[in-house]
């Protein structure tokens, strides 16, 4: 559910043009992840951002791909996309925690903006509602891209003095 301070998904900053973004996405729940990727790509295309896509086997592997993308020095930002649906075992908690902690480490260890587009939902319906699909209420893929680009620009501004 959107709260106060939600992002303007129509926002395009001219400073974003030419930025290079690694989009790492999980291969599970393809309908939802495809929607997230489409939302992120729409924002990138509108802003003149160059995206390179990488596919992880699952959400647990998103941090290691993000780490190598960051370590390559080729990217200004990373957008991580995936979905984990709660089941009847603690597996959900382990995967969500590991992916979240890992992506945070990538951002802090490499000083790179990481857009967090990993949905952690109780049901598939909740995930679809946030995936930027035709019937969705939210577009978390687009939000993750806007967040990453805004942070990348701010990092550039800080480094430029």
Query: Which residues span the domain enclosing 73?
Result: 25-160
pLDDT tier at 15, thresholds 50, 70, 90: confident
Residues belonging to the active site: 91
Within a domain: 2: no
Q: What is the helix (H) or strand (E) element at residue 126, kind and residue range?
A: helix 124-129
Query: For the domain that residue 153 is a member of, what is the CATH number?
Result: 3.40.50.960
pLDDT for the residue numbered 1? 47
**Stretch 44-71: mean pLDDT, rounded?**
98
- Chain mean pLDDT for the chain: 94
Within a domain: 76: yes
Q: What is the pLDDT of residues 64-86, one digit of tens each?
A: 999 999 999 999 999 999 999 99
Q: Please state, in angstroms and rounded to a whole number, the distance separating the CA atoms of residues 70 and 110.
A: 6
Locate all alpha helices (DSSP H) within 48-79, ordered by sequence.
Answer: 62-72
Q: Please state, in angstroms and rounded to a whole number, the distance separating the CA atoms of residues 24 and 80.
A: 5
Within a domain: 114: yes
Check: CB of residue 62 under 8 Å from CB of residue 56.
yes
Check: CB of residue 53 under 8 Å from CB of residue 25.
yes
Q: Please state, in angstroms and rounded to a whole number, the distance separating the CA atoms of residues 13 and 31.
A: 29
pLDDT tier at 22, thresholds 50, 70, 90: very high
Sign of the four-CA dihedral 36, 38, 44, 47: negative
Counting the structural domains of the chain, the total is 1
**Stretch 123-128: mean pLDDT, rounded?**
97
């Amino acid at each position: 559910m959107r709260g106060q301070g939600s992002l303007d998904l129509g926002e395009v900053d001219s400073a974003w043009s030419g930025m290079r973004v690694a989009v790492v996405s999980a291969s599970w729940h393809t309908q939802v992840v495809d929607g997230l990727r489409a939302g992120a790509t729409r924002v990138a295309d509108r802003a003149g951002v160059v995206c390179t896509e990488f596919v992880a086997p699952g959400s647990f592997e998103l941090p290691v791909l993000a780490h190598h993308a960051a370590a390559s020095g080729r990217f200004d930002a990373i957008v991580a996309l995936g979905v984990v649906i709660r089941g009847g075992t603690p597996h959900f908690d382990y995967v969500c925690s590991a992916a979240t902690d890992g992506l945070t480490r990538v951002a802090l260890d490499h000083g790179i903006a990481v857009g967090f587009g990993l949905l952690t939902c109780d049901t598939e319906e909740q995930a679809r509602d946030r995936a930027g699909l035709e019937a969705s209420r939210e577009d978390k893929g687009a939000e993750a891209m806007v967040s990453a680009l805004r942070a990348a620009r701010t990092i550039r501004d800080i480094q430029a003095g």
